[in-house]
Structures are given as structure tokens and as C-alpha cells.
Amino acid sequence: MNVLVFNSGSSSLKYQLIDTASKKVILKGEVDRIGTPAKDAPRDHSVAMSMVFEKLGTQKVDAIGHRVVHGGPNFSSATLVTAETLKQVESISHLAPLHNPAAMLGVRACRDLMPKIPNVMVFDTAFHATMPEKAYLYALPLEDCKKHNIRRYGAHGTSHDYVSQKVAEMCKKPREKLKIIVCHIGNGASVCAIDKGKSVETSMGLTPLEGLVMGTRSGDIDPAAVEYLAKAHNFTLPQTITYLNKQCGLLGLTGKTSDFRDLLAMYDKGDQTVATAFDVFFHRIVKYIGAYVAVMNGVDVIAFTAGIGNNIPALRQAVIDRLGFLGIKIDPKRNAFHNCNSVTGEITGKGSRARIFAIKTEEELSIATQVEKILSVKC
């Protein structure tokens, strides 16, 4: 089956056409600067989609898969798009304000442009539907949690699912027999504890703002600081949340950029502000890994993935070095090899009590496989 996978950002649209039988990418690309004043920029997602369909030419497309960050309380697996499911997902866009609205624009554009092709939504929250109550409940009045669906949902589920399956395969063990911690460290970042094949804890919460320090997101913060910030900047509440999503994290701490590679170059030149930001960034990752080892009562595998996790040896070295007390070690030579090219491989140090991996995440392939599965069940 040829599945066209879309990953829509607020101003960009990434796509891959994947043959699920051979797992090969037939075509891939990106349309960016959607809705910006840039020269020749597409006006909106609908125009961007028509550009993609034009590029596809006569290529056969059997189905379309859309990455959707948030599925809210009602969507715990990949779902066929119908007028009803589309409406339901649109009604929870506020739970992932940076991501869901763009994905929904993409789904609508596909239905208009290619009405005969089935569309499937694959949710980043779905993999975490197995989290136990003790992990997903906030300590708010239970009635609030239930009535308003306030709970921890997590995100990056497609990646955590794929990477944990991949490392189990590489360990030649069923995933059900392993305790795995996946660190998805990109511009957005989250850690996930996978015990017996199921997500039991993850660092993102109600929205993808909770947890680790990220490119532009603050991650964990005392909720009382929100009021302080709002007063200090004379912001409304929504403006403060946008600030926490877009102006904080590594960008906020350094006052320079959210791009890790650029920051690394500044760090290498001795920039002290960047060094402090890195300390905060690494510290938070170590804190979560330590907590998840405790939550699972042990760990067999730690895997690093995404732009930073897969390509920056210094990040993995800094994090694993702090886990030495657990008898976990990294092989510095093998670790150094995994830079820049997003390759998959084992980087476990000699005598380590847990195995360490750098894994190239394949979210699009995972989405295409789920789309095929849903449609074969429906047929």
C-alpha cells in the first residue's frame, strides 16, 4: 500500500510517500513558510497540499496518514477520518495549540483535494493511553480532572513506540520482557518509561509543555510562576502560555537561539550563558531518567532519539556519565560515531548494567504502518 504521510507544523508541511510492503520512501519533501509574507510562500495549508499533490504527479496514493499530536481523552488509537471524528478532534485543538490546528487544516485540505482517498489520524498521545492512573492523574479535585478531562496525556508516542520496538528487536528480546527508557530529544523533547511493552510514565502532560527543557518550551515550572510572569510582562493568560511555549527553554535561557547545533558551537567557544543553559537542560533529563528507573524498579535499555538525541554525542555522554552510580556506562568511541547522520546503533560501554542505543526515529514509517493496519481492519 502506498501511504502519503503528512506532518503539518504551523508554517511547514513535511510529507513522505511510503510503500508499506517494502518500507521504502518513494518520495519525500517539505513545503515551508506557509502563510508568511516570504516570496512565493503558499497562502495556507490547502495551497501547500495542492503543491504536494502536484509534485506527486501520477504516483499512486492509496491512503493518507496525518500525524496529530493530541487525541484528547477519546482517541487512544489511530482513527479513520469522518466528518464526526474530524469535528471531535478539532474540538480539542486547545490541548496542543502549537500543533493540532495545523494538522486539522491539513486533514480538511486533503479531504477537499482528494475526496476519494481515505484519511487516517495517528495520535502522538495514543501510545500513552496505557499509563496507570497514578501516573496520569494530577492532584487536583477529582471532579475537575473528570469533568474537564484534565490529566497527563503525554506526546511523541509514535516515536517512543517505534524506538522501543526497534531496541527490543536489536536486543533480540520481546519488548514485553524489557524495561526501556526512551529519550526523544529534539526541539520538542520527552522521556518515556516503557515497561513490558507499555508506556507507564512520560514527561509531557496535559499539553506538550510539561517536562524537559526544550528548544523554546520551559518544561516543568511552578504554576505560581505563571502569575508572576503575566504581571511582569502585563500579559493575558493565553499570552503567558504562548510565551512559555515559544520564548523559553534553551532560547530563553541563552537569549540566543533554540538550535542545539548553533548553541554547541557557542559552547565550544567558551560561552558561559550557553554552558549554564546546557547544565539545566542535561540536569532535567538525568532527573527524569533517574525517576523512571525508580518507577520501573530498574532499567534494561536506554535509547536516545530525535535531532539532538540521535546526533549529538556530547548530550548522550553528559547524561549517561551522571548515571554511573547505577553501573550504566557508555562507549565513548561508539558514541562519538553517532553524530550528524541520524544512524542507528548500540553505544553500550563495557560492563554496563543497561544497554544504550542511538536510534533514528521513523515516525512516518510507523504512521504508514498504522494507517495500513486500520484500513485492512475496516475492509
- Write out the three cell numbers for 220: 516543568
Mask for 220-259, x = binds ligand AMP (CB under 6 A): ---------------------------------------x
Instruction: Give the list of residues 6+ apart from residue 162 with CB closer than 8 angstroms, or none.
Output: 361, 362, 363, 365, 366
Question: What is the C-alpha separation between 73 and 205, in angstroms, rounded?
Answer: 13
The answer to the question of residue 52 lying near ligand AMP (CB under 6 A) is no
Characterize the bridge pairing of strands 63-68 and 119-123. Answer: parallel
Q: Which residue is nearest to ligand AMP (CB)?
A: 307
The answer to the question of residue 311 lying near ligand AMP (CB under 6 A) is yes
| Least distance from ligand AMP to the Cβ atom of residue 188, Å | 6
Question: What is the C-alpha separation between 281 and 299, in angstroms, rounded?
Answer: 22
Longest distance between any two alpha carbons in the chain, whole Å: 60
Residues from 316 through 355 that contact ligand AMP (CB under 6 A): 340
| Least distance from ligand AMP to the Cβ atom of residue 189, Å | 8
**Residue 214, H or E segment:** none
Question: What is the C-alpha separation between 219 and 229, in angstroms, rounded?
Answer: 15
Closer to ligand AMP by Cβ: residue 19 or 259? 259
Question: Binders of ligand AMP: how many residues, by CB under 6 A?
Answer: 12
The answer to the question of residue 261 lying near ligand AMP (CB under 6 A) is yes
Closer to ligand AMP by Cβ: residue 118 or 188? 188
| Least distance from ligand AMP to the Cβ atom of residue 214, Å | 9
- Helices and strands, number each (H, E), in the chain: 15, 12
- Write out the three cell numbers for 305: 532519539
| Least distance from ligand AMP to the Cβ atom of residue 13, Å | 15
The answer to the question of residue 313 lying near ligand AMP (CB under 6 A) is no
DSSP symbols for 125-170 = TGGGGG--HHHH--SS-HHHHHHHT-S---S-HHHHHHHHHHHHHH
The answer to whether the beta carbons of residues 117 and 159 sit under 8 Å apart is no
The answer to whether the beta carbons of residues 359 and 301 sit under 8 Å apart is no
Question: What is the C-alpha separation between 6 and 29, in angstroms, rounded?
Answer: 10
- Write out the three cell numbers for 72: 484528547
Closer to ligand AMP by Cβ: residue 151 or 184? 184
Closer to ligand AMP by Cβ: residue 193 or 312? 312
Instruction: Assess whether 32 carries a catalytic annotation.
Output: no
| Least distance from ligand AMP to the Cβ atom of residue 311, Å | 3
The answer to the question of residue 312 lying near ligand AMP (CB under 6 A) is yes
| Least distance from ligand AMP to the Cβ atom of residue 68, Å | 17
| Least distance from ligand AMP to the Cβ atom of residue 343, Å | 10
The answer to the question of residue 11 lying near ligand AMP (CB under 6 A) is no
Residues from 180 through 209 that contact ligand AMP (CB under 6 A): 186-187
Residue 15 per-residue DSSP state: E
Question: What is the C-alpha separation between 247 and 240, in angstroms, rounded?
Answer: 10
Residues from 263 through 282 that contact ligand AMP (CB under 6 A): none
| Least distance from ligand AMP to the Cβ atom of residue 207, Å | 17
Q: How many CB atoms lie within 10 A of CB 210?
A: 21
The answer to the question of residue 307 lying near ligand AMP (CB under 6 A) is yes
Closer to ligand AMP by Cβ: residue 65 or 249? 249
Closer to ligand AMP by Cβ: residue 127 or 260? 260
Q: Which stretch binds ligand AMP (CB under 6 A): 102-110, 234-242, 285-293, 301-309?
A: 301-309
The answer to whether the beta carbons of residues 135 and 154 sit under 8 Å apart is no
The answer to the question of residue 76 lying near ligand AMP (CB under 6 A) is no
Using CA atoms in the order 350, 355, 360, 365, what is the torsion angle rounded to 10 degrees? 150
Characterize the bridge pairing of strands 119-123 and 79-80. Answer: antiparallel
Mask for 142-171, x = binds ligand AMP (CB under 6 A): ------------------------------
Q: Write down the catalytic residue from 40, 112, 124, 262.
A: 124
The set of catalytic residues is 124
| Binding-site ranges for ligand AMP (CB under 6 A) | 186-187, 215, 259-261, 306-308, 311-312, 340
